[in-house]
C-alpha cells in the first residue's frame, strides 16, 4: 500500500501542531498522539520510504508501545542512519511482540524479590533486563542436565493481597509468552505441621474470601460452615512437585545464599537460629485470605482440614489469573511465623531464601517444559 506523503505524515504532523495549541494537559495530548500513531500504523502494511522516514522522525518516542514502533518500519534498502533496520516480511499480527520465557517467578514484597534474585545468581544492584509498563524483569538462564536450558524471568508485584496480584499477573501475561508461572514468597504456618524456615509447595489453594458460607443449625445453636473456592495446579505440575527430592543440594544452596546477606546486607534482621536451620519441604494445601493474621486463630477451614499447612494473602488471585490465561502455575511459600502474637521480621529473609533456593532446585531437577509450553 503506497500512501501519499501529504495524506499520511503531513496530516498527522498538522494534527500534532494543533494539539499543542489546545489547552489540554500534557498527558492528554500524549495519549491522543499515541493513539493516532497506533491507528495509522495499524492501517499501513507497507509505507512509502519517504513517509516512513518522516513518520519515524515525527512520532518515534521511547514511550510508544512496541507494537506501534514495530509497525512503523524502515525498509532495509533505504538510508537508515539512526533508525532500526527490518526486512521486508509482513508486519506481524498483534501480541506477537510478547517475550518468550519458559518460567516467570513472581514475588510480592522486596524481601522475597531480593531472595529470589540472589538464589538465581543475580545481583540485586544490577539494572533489570527489561522494564515493561514500569515493572522490572530480571532474566536468567537456568542450566539443567540432560535437558534444554530454561529462560527464567523474575519480577515483583510490590503490593500484597489478591487484587494487585491479579492485575500484575494479567500485565505479565499480556507481555510474555510463558510456559509456567511460579509465585514464591513467605506465609504463616500451622505450628503443629511446620517449623519456621520450612517450605510448603501447594497441592491446592483454598480461597476463604471468595467462597460461600452457610448457616447450619445444631439443636438450639447455629454455626457457619465455610465452603471455600478451590484452585488446583495442573496435574503435570502437581506430579513434578511430588517427584521433587531436594536433598543436600538444597540445604547447601540455602546456607550459601543466606551467607551473602552477612557482607552485602548486614542491616537485615535475621533470626540467629536461621543460620543453622535445615528447612524441610512439605507438599500440602494453602489457605488464602485478605488479612494478615497475628491472633493465633487460623480460619476454620485451616483448623478442620488436616491437609492445610500454610496461610497467605495472594495465592488465590495468582491462581485465578493463571487459570484464566491458561498458564500452568504453582506456589512455593517459606514459613515465617505461626500467625500469632509472636510474629516478627527475623524469619522474613531466611524463609524467603528457603523458598527461593527450593524454586531453583525444582526448576533444575523436577520441572519439565518440553511438553507443556503454551
For residue 99, what pLDDT is reported?
Answer: 87
Judgement on whether residues 252 and 156 belong to the same structural domain of the protein: yes
Q: What is the pLDDT of residue 259?
A: 95
The answer as to whether 37 is a domain residue is: yes
Q: What is the DSSP letter of 347?
A: G
Residue 98 has pLDDT above 60, yes or no: yes
Assess whether 14 and 65 both reside in one domain: yes
- Same domain flag for 31 and 144: no
Percentage of residues in the chain having pLDDT higher than 70: 64
Q: For residues 324 and 345, what is the distance between their CA atoms, to the nearest angstrom?
A: 34
CATH at 222: 3.40.50.1580
Q: Which of 54, 82, 97 is the last residue of a domain?
A: 97
Q: What are the φ/ψ torsions at residue 342 (nearest 5 degrees)?
A: -90, 10
State how many domains the chain has: 2
Q: CA of 292: how far to CAs of 229, 330, 335, 340, in Å?
A: 19, 22, 14, 10
Tell me, yes or no, whether 203 lies in a domain: yes
Last residue of a domain, which of 44, 73, 97? 97
81/195 same-domain check: no
The candidate with the shortest Cα–Cα distance to 113, out of 101, 102, 124, 103, is 124
Predicted confidence at residue 3, as pLDDT, reads 46
317-356: pLDDT as tens digits: 999 999 999 999 999 999 999 877 767 789 999 999 999 9
Same domain, 122 and 82: no
In a domain, 372, yes or no: no
Q: 244 lies in which domain range?
A: 99-365
* Other residues' Cβ atoms within 10 Å of the Cβ of residue 284: 21
- Quick one: 73 and 112 in the same domain? no
Domain boundary among 48, 78, 97: 97
What mean pLDDT comes out for the span 51-57? 54
Do residues 193 and 230 both lie within one domain? yes
Amino acid at each position: 500500500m503506497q500512501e501519499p506523503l501529504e495524506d499520511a505524515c503531513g496530516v498527522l504532523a498538522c494534527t500534532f501542531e494543533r494539539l499543542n495549541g489546545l489547552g489540554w494537559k500534557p498527558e492528554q495530548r500524549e495519549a491522543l498522539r499515541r493513539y493516532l500513531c497506533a491507528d495509522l500504523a495499524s492501517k499501513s502494511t507497507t509505507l512509502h520510504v519517504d513517509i516512513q522516514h518522516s513518520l519515524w522522525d515525527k512520532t518515534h518516542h521511547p514511550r510508544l508501545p512496541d507494537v506501534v514502533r514495530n509497525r512503523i518500519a524502515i525498509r532495509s534498502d533505504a538510508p537508515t542512519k539512526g533508525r532500526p533496520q527490518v526486512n521486508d516480511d509482513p508486519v506481524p499480527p498483534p501480541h506477537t511482540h510478547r517475550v518468550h520465557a519458559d518460567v516467570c517467578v513472581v514475588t510480592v514484597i522486596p524481601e522475597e524479590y531480593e531472595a529470589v534474585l540472589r538464589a538465581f545468581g543475580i545481583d540485586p544492584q544490577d539494572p533489570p533486563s527489561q522494564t515493561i509498563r514500569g515493572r522490572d524483569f530480571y532474566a536468567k538462564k537456568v542450566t539443567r542436565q540432560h535437558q534444554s536450558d530454561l529462560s527464567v524471568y523474575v519480577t515483583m508485584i510490590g503490593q500484597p493481597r489478591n487484587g494487585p496480584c491479579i492485575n500484575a499477573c494479567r500485565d505479565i501475561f499480556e507481555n510474555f509468552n510463558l510456559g509456567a508461572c511460579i509465585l514464591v514468597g513467605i506465609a504463616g504456618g500451622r505450628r503443629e505441621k511446620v517449623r519456621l524456615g520450612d517450605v510448603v509447595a501447594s497441592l491446592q489453594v483454598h480461597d476463604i474470601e471468595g467462597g460461600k458460607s452457610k448457616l447450619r443449625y445444631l439443636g438450639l445453636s447455629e454455626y457457619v460452615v465455610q465452603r471455600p473456592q478451590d484452585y488446583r495446579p495442573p496435574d503435570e505440575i502437581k506430579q513434578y512437585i511430588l517427584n521433587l527430592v531436594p536433598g543436600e543440594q538444597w540445604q547447601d544452596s540455602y546456607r550459601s545464599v543466606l551467607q551473602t546477606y552477612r557482607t552485602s546486607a548486614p542491616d537485615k534482621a535475621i533470626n540467629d537460629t536461621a543460620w543453622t536451620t535445615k528447612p524441610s519441604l512439605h507438599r500440602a494445601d494453602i489457605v488464602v485470605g485478605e488479612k494478615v493474621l497475628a491472633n493465633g486463630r487460623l480460619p476454620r477451614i485451616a483448623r478442620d482440614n488436616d491437609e492445610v499447612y500454610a496461610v497467605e494473602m495472594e495465592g488465590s488471585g495468582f491462581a485465578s489469573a493463571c487459570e484464566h490465561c491458561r498458564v500452568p502455575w504453582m506456589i512455593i511459600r517459606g514459613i515465617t511465623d505461626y500467625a500469632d502474637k509472636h510474629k516478627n521480621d527475623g524469619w522474613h529473609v531466611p524463609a524467603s531464601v528457603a523458598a527461593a533456593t527450593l524454586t531453583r532446585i525444582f526448576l533444575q531437577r523436577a520441572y519439565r517444559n518440553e511438553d507443556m509450553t503454551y
